[in-house]
């Protein structure tokens, strides 16, 4: 008898999970909430009526549900993929913004008002990250445990202030170009301090800047190819296929590209600073 009950519950649990993505694509609020607790998957119940709760609202009584730790993709009911329908994402964002607005909970359960504030903050962070292609890519890599080299402008300025060398990863295909550019930049900075102008050097730097900007734009198209590879890997994983090697290879490729892109962006910024009158 007990075995039969457990079998029924497990089957129902599988059916709910199987329907999650389909429901999430239609409405991220209606998918049953699944919480990872100590390695176990649990389906949470509504605090108000005890029915099966969804991510944001109870499907039965409509009450707002408390926030739970979750990633930005899950917050919107999305699979962890990189090709995102940004128009649908924007629509879901505005729908949730209206439904989660704290003013809707000014009267009634005080907990719900507090939850609405927390969820609104989560919503804004998630939308801001996922709508931007680079932020979305970097966020997914971080979720997968990938760490970036510090090549930001803030890191550059901090290194200059402390007198320490900033850790940099020069893309191999740019080594020769970067060496020559650094020499030109040093010469241009020296001329600037002395108040001297070198029109030939300025033209060379403008030409280099145009080349770097074209390379920078091209890297975005290359990144989208890796998005397709990643999404295909996730699709294969969902069928039970072992994709560990392809998963790591794609993540490594995206990391390398994003580091190259950041490095090229920093080079363009340095050229702009030198060319400023």
pLDDT digits (tens, 9 = 90+) for 217-254: 999 999 999 999 999 999 999 999 999 999 999 999 99
Answer whether residue 108 is part of any domain: yes
Structure tokens at 98: 């209206």
Residue 211: per-residue pLDDT: 93
Task: Mark whether 117 and 195 lie in a shared domain.
Answer: no
DSSP state of 163: T
Task: Mark whether 110 and 224 lie in a shared domain.
Answer: no
How far is residue 211's CA from residue 174's CA, in Å, rounded to a whole number?
12
pLDDT digits (tens, 9 = 90+) for 54-104: 789 888 888 999 998 899 999 999 999 999 999 999 999 999 999 999 888
- 214 has a pLDDT exceeding 60: yes
Tell which wins on pLDDT, 221 or 35. 221
Query: What is the CATH number for 62?
Result: 1.10.287.110
Answer whether residue 168 is part of any domain: yes
Total number of domains constituting the chain: 2
Task: Mark whether 233 and 181 lie in a shared domain.
Answer: yes
| Domain stops at, among 85, 113, 131 | 131
Q: Which domain range does residue 110 map to?
A: 2-131
- 2 has a pLDDT exceeding 50: no
Give the number of other Cβ atoms within 10 Å of residue 184's Cβ. 17
Residue 3: per-residue pLDDT: 42
> Which of 36-50, 67-81, 218-232, 258-272 shows the lowest per-residue confidence on average (mean pLDDT)?
36-50
Structure tokens at 31: 């998918």
Query: Do residues 206 and 275 touch, judged by C-beta distance below 8 A?
Result: yes
């Amino acid at each position: 008898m007990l075995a039969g009950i457990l079998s029924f519950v497990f089957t129902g649990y599988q059916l709910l999970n199987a329907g999650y993505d389909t429901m999430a694509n239609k409405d991220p609020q209606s998918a049953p909430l699944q919480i990872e607790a100590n390695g176990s998957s649990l389906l949470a119940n509504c605090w108000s009526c005890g029915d099966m709760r969804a991510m944001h609202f109870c499907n039965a009584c409509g009450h707002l549900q408390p926030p739970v730790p979750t990633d930005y993709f899950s917050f919107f009911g999305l699979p962890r993929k990189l090709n995102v329908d940004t128009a649908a994402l924007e629509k879901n964002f505005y729908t949730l913004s209206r439904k989660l607005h704290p003013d809707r909970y000014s009267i009634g359960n005080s907990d719900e008002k507090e939850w609405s504030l927390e969820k609104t903050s989560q919503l804004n962070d998630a939308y801001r990250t996922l709508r931007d292609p680079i932020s979305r890519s970097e966020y997914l890599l971080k979720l997968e445990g990938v760490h970036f080299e510090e090549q930001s402008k803030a890191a550059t300025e901090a290194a200059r202030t402390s007198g320490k060398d900033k850790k940099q990863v020069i893309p191999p295909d740019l080594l020769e170009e970067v060496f020559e550019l650094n020499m030109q930049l040093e010469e241009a900075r020296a001329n600037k301090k002395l108040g001297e102008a070198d029109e030939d050097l300025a033209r060379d730097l403008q030409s280099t800047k145009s080349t770097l900007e074209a390379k920078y734009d091209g890297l975005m198209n290359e990144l989208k190819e890796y998005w397709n590879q990643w999404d295909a890997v996730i699709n294969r994983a969902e069928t039970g296929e072992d994709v560990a090697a392809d998963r790591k290879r794609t993540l490594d490729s995206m990391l390398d590209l994003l580091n190259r892109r950041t490095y090229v962006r920093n080079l363009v910024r340095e050229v702009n600073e030198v060319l400023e009158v």
